[in-house]
């Protein structure tokens, strides 16, 4: 595939990626992908991985599901032994392939999507309930400021 500069494009159901589904709130949806194999001017074999998906995660702030759009674009340098990683050009991530030179494209995409997920998924549109934060949201919006400034003592010493 590298010598022939093959390009594979398509869609794969999220449900087909079992390791990814373990971290999701729902396995609905598809992953649109493109795998572009090639060799750079230095002779390094690579595969460009592009994947896009809308993944349903559980917000760790509200414990409600939310949809996170994920887009991945990575260039993976194909290596046969771990010591070959040091010879990869800048901008290449290593991908260890077997002695037979084969790789499973679905596994490669799943790995890249797993790496793109946040460690702690939080819906950017969410906020904590008032009973948890202990204050009224309008009080700070109206311009009230905290009176207990920890640097007030230093300001007095400076005078």
Domain boundaries, the chain: 7-125
Residue 89, token pair as written in the block: 């050009």
Residue 78 CA, chain-centre distance (Å), reads 21
pLDDT over 60 at 79, yes or no: yes
Cα 37 to Cα 11, 63, 137: the distances in Å are: 17, 40, 52
Q: Are 47 and 56 in contact (CB under 8 A)?
A: no
Element (H, E) at 8: strand 7-13
Residue 154 has pLDDT above 80, yes or no: no
Over residues 90-120, the pLDDT tens digits come to 989 999 998 887 888 899 999 999 999 999 9
The DSSP letter of residue 88 is: S
Give the pLDDT of residue 67.
Answer: 94
The DSSP code for 82 is G
Q: How confident is the model at residue 151 (pLDDT cuts 50, 70, 90)?
A: confident
**pLDDT at res. 113:** 95
Which segment of 47-51, 79-83, 121-125, 129-133 scores lowest on mean pLDDT?
129-133
Per-residue pLDDT for 17 more than 80?
Answer: yes
Strand 7-13 with 93-96, pairing: unpaired
At residue 157, what are phi and psi to the nearest 5 degrees? -70, -30
**What is the C-alpha R_g of the chain?**
24
122 three-state secondary structure: coil
d(CA 157, CA 159): 5
């Amino acid at each position: 595939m590298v010598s022939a500069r093959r390009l594979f494009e398509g869609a794969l159901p999220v449900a087909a990626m079992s390791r990814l589904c373990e971290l999701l709130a729902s396995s609905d949806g598809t992953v649109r992908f493109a795998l572009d194999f090639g060799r750079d001017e230095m002779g390094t074999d690579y595969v460009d991985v592009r994947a896009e998906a809308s993944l349903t995660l559980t917000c760790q702030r509200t414990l409600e599901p939310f949809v996170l759009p994920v887009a991945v674009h990575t260039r993976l340098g194909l290596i046969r032994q771990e010591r070959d990683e040091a010879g990869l050009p800048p901008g290449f991530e290593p991908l260890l392939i077997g002695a037979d030179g084969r790789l499973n494209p679905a596994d490669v995409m799943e790995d890249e999507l797993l790496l793109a997920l946040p460690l702690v998924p939080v819906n950017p549109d969410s906020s904590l309930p008032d009973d948890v934060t202990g204050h009224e949201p309008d009080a700070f919006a109206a311009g009230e400021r905290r009176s207990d400034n920890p640097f007030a003592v230093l300001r007095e010493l400076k005078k």
